[in-house]
Amino acid sequence: MKDSKQENLRNKFLKLGVKMIGPETVFFSSDTKIGKNVTIEPYVVIGSKVKIGNSVIIKSFSHLESCKIENKVEVGPYARIRPETVLKEGSKIGNFVEIKKSILGKKSKVNHLSYIGDGIIGRSVNIGAGTITCNYDGVRKSKTKINDGAFIGSNSSLVAPVKIEKKSIVGAGSVITKNVKKETLALTRSPQLEVKNYKRKKK
């Protein structure tokens, strides 16, 4: 059985120039706002209070709710954009990324397999695969601030409240619990150990 409300919303946005690949698989809310030159791939769900700017691409299996997507942003595939999130112009949220109550600055990227919660991310920041902002300590939520031009290596945990200053680098696999100064490299990785001539035990 067809949902006439959804059919009407799909037709409305198609007439406004929104490009939908598989429109019957895309779901809108009655208050959805979409700009010009927007592409929405199959199996996208857009919840209430979502505003999408111009020249945006939303890839398959993404879920958006109560958020603002500015111009020239790319989302997904398999991304979850949770309430009170703002994706600034030219930013990118990639596959299997969840972002909640955060601001992602202009031209910043969170490309893969990451969780950003209660974050303030500056311009041109790169957040590597597997990065987590540890925003909840079991009692309260705290913020993570990452300033312009910072680089966060893969599989890093940023334990909030914490601040990463401009153009700093967090090495892959680090657990950051203290503020990182401007233009520095922060590492908390254990040293690599190698055992020569090691032989596995036989059964």
Q: Is 63 a catalytic residue?
A: no
Cα–Cα distance for residue pair 78/98, rounded to 1 Å = 9
Distance in angstroms (rounded) separating the CA atoms of residues 15 and 184: 51
Residue whose pair of structure tokens reads 């946005």 in the numeric block: 13
* 60: its two tokens: 């398959």
Prior bond to 161 cis, omega within 30? yes
Nearest to 49 by CA among 84, 89, 98: 84
Please identify which of the residues 112, 143, 166, 167 carries the catalytic annotation: 112
| DSSP-assigned letters across all residues of 119-188 | EEE-TT-EE-TT-EEE-B-SS-B--EEE-TT-EE-TT-EEESSEEE-TT-EE-TT-EE-S-B-TT-EE--
| Residues tagged active-site | 112
